[in-house]
Each structure stands twice: as structure tokens, then as C-alpha cells.
Amino acid sequence: MENQKELEGLRKSKGALEQLIAHHLKGQKAKKILPPQLEAEFWHFNIDRTRSNAIQFFGQGVITFTIYVLLILPTNYVIIRDSANFTLDFAYSILSLFIVGLALFLFWAFSRFRHLRAYFYQASCTIIFSTIIVVSLLLLSVSSVVLQNQAMLLLAFLYILGFVLSGIKPLHMLWLGAVAASIVLFLLYIFDIPCDFLIVGRMYIGSMLLGFSMSVILIAKERKFFIRSKISEIDEKILRLQASELLHLSQHDELTKISNRRTFDEMFEHFYQLACQTSKPLSFLFIDIDYFKNYNDFYGHLKGDEVISEIAKTIKSSIRHMDFIARYGGEEFVVLLPETSAQGAYAVATNIYWAIDRLMIPHERSLVAKHVTISLGVTVFHGDAEISQATVIHTADKALYRAKQLGRNQVYYQPLAKAAENI
């Protein structure tokens, strides 16, 4: 009875969230249709995604910014070298670029370090606000008209960055940008710095409006994604409650605490039929620990069990709530990714691969690395009922076998249709 009541509550919650998505599709404002508690949860979710993206793409950002600096500084030198105020203008140009680079580093630092994460949102607001003011004053103070025009492009970029990539709420960023612009214009006027106030003001207003519009659109999409993720979480809970009534403890692997082969067979049947009904892709991952027998022989079975448990835990943490993982047997695992294309499946497989690689579990008897590695086989079922479940499994197994043939420690994708023709 308790399970039934909980199931009813979860189904009602799911229905309410599906209505929210329907409102999205009708074009209603996302913020007005989210209850306050859910809205607050969404912003926590969005900030976490922002921090994650900041960490993930910091390297690419550094490379891009470095290339920009290497291109802009020589051209600035050529443009203003004959200027009467060359030294001061060029120094301001260098200093402004340094400040932008420092802002990017601070943004990454508050994303990366655990003791700073609690202040991420406040730090983002402060960094964007301060950077806009300081860079504006530096670059608009130069005597060169060319550098002033360049400055306005850079400032427009900072505004867009603040709206789109910082995780700051659109209205908060709008206020920050407006106050920062007002302060800059006021200081330019007070200190009698020569510039075209009309053009500068139009740049600020245009950047804020463009950034605000882009931010609202992106946030609306993020809200929709968030709601779908909540639905997926509810689906998982419903599935777990239903399974608890039907399945026994024997259907779970005692060592890894994930599903076992028997449960996989049942879940694969469910996802296979669902894919046939909806014609949505179902991706299949076969995962094997490389040279695991050598590991057991060298380190012992107790250590081997620890590795299997850690691998299972890492794989599970690398997939979505709606995905399914099972221990297929020995050192082999399977992952089912409903509603996931070949590109998405390969991305998930790659994430799992690197997550295992980052564990750096020593493996002296491996022939491919000094630490534990995995091989992954990937295939995708597109809902064609003429293709049997056995064919799907065989194809994924074939992909895993091919990954091993090519030297292990890699991901190999095997198209299902091509493989099916050869069976």
C-alpha cells in the first residue's frame, strides 16, 4: 500500500511537470510556470551546469584567448606606433587584456576549487561587474579612435559573456550591466575623457539588449531540459518502486550493488519494446576491463573485487538517471541508453572511458597501460522490430571484440544495420 501511494504521488508529480513542458511548447514564459521551489532548484541546477562547463572548457578558453592576444597586440602596435600617446595607449591595451584573462581565471577558480564553489554566483556577479568597469575605463581612455572602436567590441563581448556563459540570472545581469555602464559614463564625464558618449551609450544598450534576449532564450531551453531531467528522475523512482514489488534481491549483483544479468534481460526486453513502439533510438554499450585476469593473478581476487566495484560505481555516476547499467558477468558490464543517438552514445562511452582512466588504478600486469583501462563496444537500435534482441546484443559484443582486436583501451562503434547484414 505504501508503494502504491508513493507511486500515485510520483505519477501526479510527473503529470504536473509534463504540463510545464506543454506550456513551454505553447510559448508561455518559462519563469511564470515554475513554482517557487522548483524555480530555486532550477537555478541550483543551472549554476552547477555552469561550473561544470567552466571546468570542462577552461583549457579551450585559455587557448582561444591566448590566440586572440597574440593576434590583437601586434596589430595594435602597428596601428598606434606613430601615435603621440603610443606608450600609454599600448600599456592600457595590454593591461585590459590582462584583466580579461584574470577574470577568466577567477571564474574558473571559483568553479574548480571546492572551498570557493559556495561563492560562485556572487563571485561571477562581482567579476563581470568589475571587469566591465575597469576594462571600459582603460580602453575608452585611449586617444586612438581605432582602439576605442576595438574596445567597444571587446566590451560587447564581455556583456554577452556575462549574460550567456556566467550563469547569472538575466535580470541580475541586466541590472549589473546597466549600473556598470552608468558608472563608466559618469566617470568618463567627470574626468573629461574624450569619447563619443552617444556611440558608447548605444553600444552598452545594444549589448545589454542582445545579451538579455539570448540569455532568456537559453534559460528557457535550460528550464525545459531541467524539467525533463526531473521527469527522468521520477521515472527512475517509479521504475524502482515497481521493480521492488516484482523483483527479488537475487536480481541485483551483490558485489557491485547494480543490476545483474537476469535484471538486464528483463530491462532490455522493456527498453527494446519501448524503442519499437516509439521508434526512438536505444543505444547499447558493452564494457570490459582490460587484462583483468592478469590483475587478479597479480593483486589477488579481493583487490579484483574492489576494482570491479569501483568501475561499476564510476560507470553508474557517468550516465543519466534514466539510463540502465548491469553487470553482465565477470568483468563485463552493459549500459542501456534509451532515446540516445549514435553520437550521444559515443559521447557517453567516451565520458565513461575517461572517467575510468582518471581513477588511475595501478595495473602492473596490463599490456596497454600502467593502470586499469577498459574497452567499450557501442551500437544503436533504431526501433526496427525486424532486428532481434539477440542481434543487438551480438552487434554490441562484436563491437567490443573489435575494440579488443585493435589493442584494447578504446571505444569502438559498430553500426547495427551493417552488422545485422553479416549475421
d(C-alpha 129, C-alpha 163), whole Å: 12
pLDDT at residue 302 is higher than 80 = yes
For residue 363, give the 3-state DSSP assignment. Answer: coil
For residue 286, give the 3-state DSSP assignment. Answer: strand
Tens digit of pLDDT for each residue in 44-94?
Answer: 777 777 777 777 766 776 777 677 667 766 776 776 666 666 676 677 777
d(C-alpha 113, C-alpha 283), whole Å: 35
Mean pLDDT score of the chain:
80
Q: Kindly indicate the confidence band of residue 338, based on its pLDDT and cuts at 50, 70 and 90.
A: very high
Catalytic residue among 41, 306, 331, 332: 331
In this prediction, residue 388 carries a pLDDT of: 92
In this prediction, residue 248 carries a pLDDT of: 47
Q: With beta carbons less than 8 A apart as the criterion, state whether 131 and 99 touch.
A: yes
Q: With beta carbons less than 8 A apart as the criterion, state whether 223 and 34 touch.
A: yes
pLDDT at residue 228 is higher than 80 = no
Q: Kindly indicate the confidence band of residue 200, based on its pLDDT and cuts at 50, 70 and 90.
A: confident
At 154, which helix (H) or strand (E)? helix 145-164
Q: Which residue has the higher pLDDT, 58 or 343?
A: 343
Q: Which of 260, 261, 269, 270 is nearest to 390 (CA)?
A: 269
d(C-alpha 83, C-alpha 135), whole Å: 21
Q: DSSP assignment of 163-223, as one string?
A: HHTS---HHHHHHHHHHHHHHHHHHHHHTT----HHHHHHHHHHHHHHHHHHHHHHHHHHH
Q: Which residue has the higher pLDDT, 13 or 247?
A: 13
In this prediction, residue 298 carries a pLDDT of: 94
pLDDT at residue 423 is higher than 60 = no
pTM of the shown model: 0.44
Q: Residue 202 corresponds to which cell in the numbers above?
A: 548605444
**For 203, what's the count of Cα atoms within 13 Å in the CB-facing half-sphere?**
24
In this prediction, residue 419 carries a pLDDT of: 44
The one-letter code for the residue type at 314 is T
Say if strands 374-381 and 411-413 run parallel, antiparallel, or are unpaired: parallel
pLDDT at residue 364 is higher than 50 = yes
Q: With beta carbons less than 8 A apart as the criterion, state whether 321 and 236 touch.
A: yes
Q: Kindly indicate the confidence band of residue 411, based on its pLDDT and cuts at 50, 70 and 90.
A: very high
Q: What is the dihedral of CA 196, 197, 202, 205, to 10 degrees?
A: 150
Q: With beta carbons less than 8 A apart as the criterion, state whether 397 and 377 touch.
A: yes
Q: Kindly indicate the confidence band of residue 351, based on its pLDDT and cuts at 50, 70 and 90.
A: very high
Q: Which residue has the higher pLDDT, 389 or 69?
A: 389
Give backbone dihedrals phi and psi of 336, rounded to 5 degrees, phi first.
-105, 130
Q: Which residue has the higher pLDDT, 216 or 21?
A: 216
Give the angle 276-281-284 at the CA atoms, nearest 5°: 105
Q: Which residue has the higher pLDDT, 156 or 408?
A: 408
Specify the range with the lowest mean pLDDT, choosing from 120-124, 225-229, 373-377, 393-397: 225-229
Q: Which of 185, 76, 92 is nearest to 133 (CA)?
A: 185
Average pLDDT for 327-356: 94
Task: Give the list of residues 6+ apart from residue 265 with CB closer than 8 angstroms, or none.
Answer: none
Q: Kindly indicate the confidence band of residue 340, based on its pLDDT and cuts at 50, 70 and 90.
A: very high
For residue 378, give the 3-state DSSP assignment. Answer: strand
pLDDT at residue 169 is higher than 90 = no
Q: Which of 96, 111, 226 is nearest to 166 (CA)?
A: 111
In this prediction, residue 17 carries a pLDDT of: 61
pLDDT at residue 324 is higher than 50 = yes
Percent of the chain predicted with pLDDT > 90: 34
Give the angle 28-30-33 at the CA atoms, nearest 5°: 85
Specify the range with the lowest mean pLDDT, choosing from 13-27, 47-61, 269-283, 408-422: 13-27
Average pLDDT for 138-159: 70
pLDDT at residue 245 is higher than 50 = yes
Q: How many CB atoms lie within 10 A of CB 47?
A: 19
In this prediction, residue 69 carries a pLDDT of: 67
Q: Kindly indicate the confidence band of residue 25, based on its pLDDT and cuts at 50, 70 and 90.
A: very low
Q: Assign residue 159 a region: left if phi > 0, alpha if psi is -120 to 50, beta otherwise?
A: alpha
The DSSP call for residue 251 is: G
| Boundaries of every domain in the chain | 2-227, 249-422
Which of 18-22's residues contact partners 24+ apart within 8 Å by CB, and which partners? 18/231, 20/227, 21/224, 21/227, 21/228, 21/231
Q: Which of 129, 121, 153, 125 is nearest to 139 (CA)?
A: 153
331 assigned to active site: yes
d(C-alpha 87, C-alpha 333), whole Å: 64
Q: Kindly indicate the confidence band of residue 146, based on its pLDDT and cuts at 50, 70 and 90.
A: low
Q: Kindly indicate the confidence band of residue 393, based on its pLDDT and cuts at 50, 70 and 90.
A: very high
Q: Which residue has the higher pLDDT, 70 or 314?
A: 314
CATH topology of domain 249-422: Alpha-Beta Plaits (3.30.70)
Look-up: residue for cell 532568456? 216
